[in-house]
A = this chain, B = another copy of it.
Amino acid sequence: MTETTGYSRSGLVLVKNPHLDLMEEDVLYHLDLGTKTHNLPAMFGDIKFVCVGGSPNRMRAFAQFMQRELGLAGAGEDVADICAGSDRYAMYRAGPVLSISHGMGIPSISIMLHELIKLLHHAKCRDVTIIRMGTSGGLGIKAGSVVITDTAVDSSFRPRFEQVVLDDVVVRSTELDKDLAEELLACSRDIPDFPTLIGHTMCTYDFYEGQGRLDGALCSFSSEKKLEYLRRAYEAGVRNIEMESTAFAALCGLCGLKAAVVCVALLDRLEGDQIRASHEVLWEYQQRPQRLIAAFIRKRLGLTRTD
């Protein structure tokens, strides 16, 4: 069974669940929010950009960065975690931008996205753009390069996400919004100090054996086998590897959210497996997707650089 992606003409998020309307309350358990305990339209109705990433510290830093970039009151001050009652995810806002952590891996981002999509639905948000900003292993590209994903692929380089529903498997498309990817690439031209490119992103269920690393607790293959696999991935168009993009593309696509994935490469996997760069270098790398996305949001909001 293959499901198709559909965007909503109204600009509203499409929850595709007939049972939701019958519930008198919806507890978004892992976000510690709910329809009876919180006024979601008042809290979130004006959100236009949702940025998600693995690390809670990084997503707090991004919200603070966006406060400065958008010239908002309170810039420079600390931001409050909207999900403080739960330590599963962290959520911050800066004007029309929501910044949320999703942890590592498909199951973790998938729980967050189900609850986020219901939140945007309950809050009656319109025309929301969602961007995952992440870290990744690069493939044949320089450490520090930023990859904008055109298509997320699985470990066999296929543009598909297999979702278990009860004990059945449903195949979902993992295409991302091409116009949005091009718009992001255009923004990167104003940021000359790091390379940005568009390519396929491979999404795996594991960081070690699943990504062909030789440095896990278990490894049953040779360095030659690993390189042969990674070279095949490169030839299939893969430019970076991470652990969330297929599920992100599939869920956002089905729910009518225009979605993009922007990840920095922390290393080139054709050169090695271990992430050895200093904290300072890694920190600067992680700011690159943030700078690109900030430029994109500023442009969309019609803000011009004055500083």
Chain A residues with CB under 8 Å of chain B are 15-20, 23, 25-27, 29-30, 54-58, 85, 87-88, 103-108, 110-111, 113-115, 117-118, 121, 155-156, 163-167, 170, 204-210, 212, 214-221, 223, 225-226, 229, 243, 251, 254-255, 274-276, 279
Contacts and interface: CB of A to CB of B under 8 A. Distances in A.
A23 B215 contact: yes
Most buried by B among A23, A204, A206, A216: A216
A30 B204 CA distance: 17
A58 B87 CA distance: 9
A225 to B, nearest CB: 7
A54 B16 CA distance: 29
A67 B57 CA distance: 28
A162 B192 CA distance: 44
Contacts of A58: 87
Contacts of A212: 166
B210 A163 contact: yes
A52 to B, nearest CB: 14
Contact of A103 (B103, B155, B254): B103
Contacts of A163: 206, 209-210
A217 B114 contact: yes
A16 B216 CA distance: 9
Contacts of A229: 166-167
A29 B275 contact: yes
A50 to B, nearest CB: 13
Nearest to A22: B214
A114 B208 contact: yes
23 contacts: A15-B217, A16-B217, A17-B218, A19-B223, A20-B215, A20-B219, A23-B274, A26-B274, A29-B275, A56-B87, A57-B87, A105-B106, A105-B110, A105-B111, A107-B107, A107-B108, A107-B205, A107-B243, A117-B217, A155-B167, A164-B204, A164-B205, A164-B209
B104 A108 contact: yes
B275 A27 contact: yes
Nearest to A54: B88
A241 to B, nearest CB: 12
Given A55-B87, A85-B279, A163-B210, A103 B106 contact: no
Given A29-B274, A279-B85, A166 B225 contact: yes
A158 to B, nearest CB: 10
Given A15-B218, A155-B166, 13 more contacts: A16-B219, A17-B219, A23-B274, A27-B274, A54-B88, A88-B104, A107-B205, A108-B108, A164-B204, A165-B220, A166-B221, A166-B226, A166-B229
Contacts of A20: 215, 219
A65 to B, nearest CB: 17
Given A17-B216, A217-B114, A255-B217, A27 B276 contact: yes
